[in-house]
Amino acid sequence: MKLPAQSTDTIETWRLGFIATVAPDGTPNVSPKGTFVVLDEETIAFGEMRSPNTIANIAHQAEVEVNFVDVLSRKGTRIRGKAEIVEKGSAGFEALLPQFTPLWGDLCELFNVIVKIPVDQVKPLQSPAYETGATEAELRNTWQTKIAEMKQ
């Protein structure tokens, strides 16, 4: 399935995705990953550095969902697909690495694997605030103000 432009924009702007997996005992796991890239219009990926449980869960059950949120607009995207673990040192890993190095440079040396996720389903995310009549401009202004206040 092709990623909508808005989904691609959200991923490439924020890079932080929250990936949901299922452990072998059936318990859910949600883990933030900050190294997401859009490989092409049908595939996303992240470099894994410190998430052995997420990787074990994917090895057990490849079906995942990743949520990306624009924290200012309170809009985002939900992406589902079957994750593929690409091992460090493999030809596939080396072929994917150039899509990560311009963004993270030497941090890529810490990648244990790269996880590719071909997109099977895409759904929009949107704050319930929109149902109350809030506009995107109002929400952006509210959250930009809150962020500015946190810096003080």
What is the value of pTM for the model shown? Answer: 0.93
Whole-angstrom Cα distance, residue 41 to residue 79?
Answer: 13
- Reported as a single tens digit per residue, the pLDDT across 74-128 is 999 999 999 999 999 999 999 999 999 999 999 999 999 999 999 999 999 999 9
Phi, psi of 127, deg, nearest 5: -65, 145
Residues 6+ apart with CB under 8 A from 96: 39, 45, 86, 114, 116
- Reported as a single tens digit per residue, the pLDDT across 130-146 is 999 999 999 999 999 99
Answer whether residue 152 shows pLDDT above 70.
Answer: no
Tell me the mean pLDDT in the region 27-51: 97
Q: How many Cα neighbours within 13 Å face the side chain of 34?
A: 6
Burial string for 98-115 (b: 16+ CB within 10 Å, else e) reads ebbeeebeeebeebebbb
E-assigned strand segments in the chain: 17-22, 28-33, 37-40, 43-48, 63-70, 75-82, 84-87, 113-118, 121-126
Q: What share of the chain is helix, strand, coil (3-state, %, to 5)?
A: 40, 35, 25
Residues 6+ apart with CB under 8 A from 152: none
Q: Which two tokens stand for residue 151?
A: 């810096």
- Reported as a single tens digit per residue, the pLDDT across 14-34 is 999 999 999 999 999 999 999
